Structure 1
Amino acid sequence: MPAPSAPPPATGGDTLTDVIHASDTLARVFAALGDPTRLKLVAVLCAGGAFSIAQLTANTDISRQGVTKHLQVLAEAGVVRDVKLGRERLWQLEPAQVEAARQTLEVIGREWEVALGKLKGFVEGL
């Protein structure tokens, strides 16, 4: 069964407005990364390129079917993609989606710091 086609890369952007406009795609990315098994798979793919299902299940207690299901969720979110090499399917990271998620967290972090600064100013002014 072919992997689902990935959505276009999300652009995290530099402002909160950019984050809001990309929120649907980014929500899928964060939801996919929210599972510990999927996060581990992404970490493995980040560290080493493209891997087969057999390589991704080596030294784990997760079945090939389980890993395949997790990879399909990640593919639907646009975090990974598969490449067919002969009879084998290799999975690799789609860095644009991970970078968009990182940028989004950076924007939210900056906004949070501004909000905390305003709260601190208000409290100190009392």
Structure 2
Amino acid sequence: MSNVVDVVIELFTWVGLGVGLLLAIVAMIVYVADGTWVPVRAVVEDVDDHRVVRWFDEHGGVNEAPLSPHEDARIGDADMADIFARRGSRHRMRLTRSSPHVRFLTLLATGVLSLGALAFVLSIVLLFTRG
């Protein structure tokens, strides 16, 4: 039975650390590819059958982006909203500073790396307690 436990712990160690490191690298690449998002104050306006937000960028240009139904529900009936606009892009905005994809990948990498580290520590403890 102890051989099976050793194999399972070894498997969790190598897979946890290897996959966790790979996920952390992917999260970093996605973070860099996501770009820079700056906070701006936007005006919410009704246009035909949907709502849009308009804001000024750092160069004085006027930018516009349509609101998705989810974003429209979060903003509600407000005339102004605090949003985050992508630097260098005229029509990209979101309501949160960080990307949900980056946050998910970071949490997943942290969890898998933690599992690998815990299995590694457990294997070391079992090595010295059996000897």
Do Structure 1 and Structure 2 share a fold, with TM-score over 0.5?
no
* TM-score with structure 2 setting the length: 0.38
Which structure has the highest strand share of the two?
A: 2
* TM-score with structure 1 setting the length: 0.39
